[in-house]
C-alpha cells in the first residue's frame, strides 16, 4: 500500500469521525418519527469501505481508532464499536476472498458488505454481552444499519479509494 492510499485512508478515518460527531448533535432527536435518532454507523461505513483494499494493518488500526471514538461519542462500552468494526472488516475480507469466482465486482462487493454488516452486528452484540448483558440490538440500531447500507455506495469513495482496489 503506497503513501497516497495511506493518506486517503487517514482522511477517510477523519471523515468517519466527523460523521460520528454530527450524529451526536441534539438536532437529530427532533426529526420526524421514522428518522428519529437514525444516523449512519460511521465505523461500519469505514470498515466496509476499506475491505476492497484487501488486508491492511493500517486500515485495521484506523478502524479501531474510529471505533473507540464512536464508543466515547455514543457512550458505548469501551471497545464495542471497535470490535464491531473489526468483525465487519474481517468478515468482509473473508467474503471477498471467497467469492472471487464471480465475474463482476459489484456482486462481490455487495455480498461482502452484507456479510460484513451481519458480522459487525454480531460483534457488537458480543461486546454488549461481555459488558454485562447490555441489549444493543434494537429497532433504532436496525434503522441505523439500513441507513448505513443505503449510503454505502454514495459515501464509500470518501473513505477508501476505488483506484487502489485490488482486482477481484
Q: Write out the three cell numbers for 78.
A: 469501551
DSSP helix/strand/coil, 2:
coil
State the chain's mean pLDDT as an integer: 81
Mean pLDDT throughout 66-79?
88
Q: For residue 125, what pLDDT is reported?
A: 84
Q: Is the pLDDT of residue 92 over 70?
A: yes
Smallest CA-to-CA distance from 63 within 16, 109, 7 is with 16
Q: For residue 168, what pLDDT is reported?
A: 39
DSSP helix/strand/coil, 79:
coil
Question: Virtual CA dihedral for 63, 104, 166, 54, nearest 10 degrees?
Answer: 30
pLDDT category at 63 given cuts 50, 70, 90 is: very high
pLDDT category at 60 given cuts 50, 70, 90 is: very high
The residues, any chain, with a CB within 8 Å of residue 74's CB and separated by 6 or more, are 20, 24, 81
pTM: 0.84
Is 163 exposed, middle or buried, given 0-12, 13-18 or 19+ CB atoms closer than 10 A?
A: exposed
Three-state SS across 120-151?
HHHHHHHHHHHCCCCCCCCHHHHHHHHHHHHH
Q: For residue 85, what pLDDT is reported?
A: 93
Q: Is the pLDDT of residue 62 over 90?
A: yes
Mean pLDDT throughout 56-69?
94
Q: For residue 68, what pLDDT is reported?
A: 94
Mean pLDDT throughout 137-166?
77
Q: For residue 76, what pLDDT is reported?
A: 81
Q: For residue 143, what pLDDT is reported?
A: 80
Amino acid at each position: 500500500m503506497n503513501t497516497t492510499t495511506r493518506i486517503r485512508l487517514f482522511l477517510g478515518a477523519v471523515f468517519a469521525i466527523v460523521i460520528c460527531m454530527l450524529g451526536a448533535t441534539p438536532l437529530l432527536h427532533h426529526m420526524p418519527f421514522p428518522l428519529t435518532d437514525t444516523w449512519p454507523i460511521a465505523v461500519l461505513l469505514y470498515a466496509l469501505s476499506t475491505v476492497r483494499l484487501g488486508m491492511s494493518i493500517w486500515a485495521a488500526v484506523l478502524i479501531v481508532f474510529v471505533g473507540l471514538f464512536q464508543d466515547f461519542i455514543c457512550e458505548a462500552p469501551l471497545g464495542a464499536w471497535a470490535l464491531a468494526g473489526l468483525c465487519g472488516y474481517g468478515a468482509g475480507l473473508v467474503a471477498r476472498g471467497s467469492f472471487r469466482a464471480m465475474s463482476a465486482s459489484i456482486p462481490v462487493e455487495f455480498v461482502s458488505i452484507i456479510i460484513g454488516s451481519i458480522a459487525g452486528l454480531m460483534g457488537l452484540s458480543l461486546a454488549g454481552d461481555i459488558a454485562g448483558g447490555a441489549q444493543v440490538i434494537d429497532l433504532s440500531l436496525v434503522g441505523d444499519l439500513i441507513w448505513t447500507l443505503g449510503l454505502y455506495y454514495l459515501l464509500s469513495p470518501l473513505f477508501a479509494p476505488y483506484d487502489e482496489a485490488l482486482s477481484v
